[in-house]
Every structure is written in structure tokens, then in C-alpha cells.
Structure 1
Amino acid sequence: MLETLTGQSLGVFIGLTLVLAGSAAMSMGQAIAQTWRPLWQIVPYGLLLGAANRFLSYALFEEELLHVTGFLVCSAILIALAFLAYRIARTNKMVAQYPWLYERAGLFAIREHRGS
């Protein structure tokens, strides 16, 4: 089932997509948040990272290169990981940079600071 959906074997999916490209996606999301760039920039960078992931699985493991659903599924996973890292990094940055305005309201959210 996973192989038909992603176009990759389970080992390649875990090792290449989740570990290698997933860590790159998390770094990408964190970098976009740290430099105050808008959230929408995750999507084109995530698609480029998905294309690189597809090419590496083709070049290194002889998987199918033009597997459209595999590209879309892997890109969606990478974009979701980048979004997760973006929200965590943006929350940390807002709380650290503006402690008089915001306080943490969980891992992904902030709220206005309630006075002492």
C-alpha cells in the first residue's frame, strides 16, 4: 500500500523521505520563521524539496522518477513538517523577542501577556 502511494519502498521512504528530507524540511521551516518570512514561502520550497527527494530516490535506489502521487504525497509530508517547525520557531521567537506582549499558550500558540 505505501509503495503504491509513494512510489518508494518502506526503507527508502523512512530513510530518505522522513529522516533526510524531513530534517531538511524542518530546518527550512525554522529558517523561514527565524528570518520573519511569510508562511506561504514554505509551499514552493517544499515542492522543490519534494522534487529533490524524488530525484534522489530515483538516482540512488532506482525508484520511479515520474511518480506523480509519490511526489505529491512526499511533498505534502515535507510541507507539513516544515509548517510544524515554522510554528514552533515563530512561537519561540515571538515569546523571546516580545516577552511584555506575548506569553506561550502551548507548543504552537501565543496569547497576549496577562499583566502580573
Structure 2
Amino acid sequence: MTAILGESLGVFIGLTIILTGGCAFMMGQAIASTWRSYWELIPYSLLLAATNRFLAFALFEQKLLALIPYLIAVLVVWGLASLGFRLTQVDLMIHQYPWLYERAGLLSWRNR
């Protein structure tokens, strides 16, 4: 597991999922609440995953330029940012335009 993640499972859960993933979720919410495009998540996710790798390097003496752990961090960050983006977008659509749309589930809306 350490060879794939580039760090121990505890460090991965604590640093990548909880700390960086929480920041990614809030990043997705911020991008959606300002009505920006979904595709703006990609460069921010790449930067946040690079920050995650640097923190693993600086705090836990992990390898800085490891490709597979970086790609795993990108997927985790992008996934949680996408979730935050979509939840916020649905909330904005059903509250901004209540005469047009209603909630059709956690991640979608439909026409009234």
C-alpha cells in the first residue's frame, strides 16, 4: 500500500483525504458559488494536489516527485472538488430559480 500511495495509510487518510480533500470540497463550493465554469476545477486541483505532495514531503519525509502518489492525490482532490461543485450548483439553481427548478435528488434538479 505504501508503494502505491507513496505514504502510510494513516498519512494518506489524514493528509490527503481529510485535510486536502476538505480544502478541495470548499474549493468546489467556492467555484460554483461564483457561477464559474466546472473546468476551472482542473488547474486548481492540480495545484492543490501538488501542495499535498509538498506537505507529505515536508512533514512526513515522503518522496516529493513521485508520479503515482501525485496522480492519486489529483483524483482524490478532483473528485471531492467535483462533489462540492455539484452540490453547490444544485443548491444555487433550486434556490435562485424556484419557479423553474426543483430538486430531483442530491446531485440533480429538474424542470417544474
TM-score where L is the length of structure 2: 0.98
Cα distance per residue 1:51-101 (max 9 Å; x no partner): 000000000000111110100111111100000110000000000000000
How many residues in Structure 1 have an aligned counterpart in Structure 2? Answer: 112
Match of 2:110 in 1: 111
Unaligned runs of 5+ in 1: none
Match of 2:60 in 1: 61
Match of 1:72 in 2: 71
Matched, 1:31 2:34: no
Runs of 4+ in 1 over 4 A off after TM superposition: none
Q: Secondary structure at the match of 1:49?
A: helix
- 2:62 and 2:6 mapped to 1: Cα distance? 7
Matched, 1:48 2:44: no
Match of 2:91 in 1: 92
Unaligned runs of 5+ in 2: none
Match of 1:7 in 2: 6
What root-mean-square deviation, in Å, do the aligned CA atoms of Structure 1 and Structure 2 show?
A: 0.6
TM-score where L is the length of structure 1: 0.95
Counterpart of 1:94, as a letter, is M
- 2:4 and 2:98 mapped to 1: Cα distance? 45
- 1:15 and 1:43 mapped to 2: Cα distance? 23
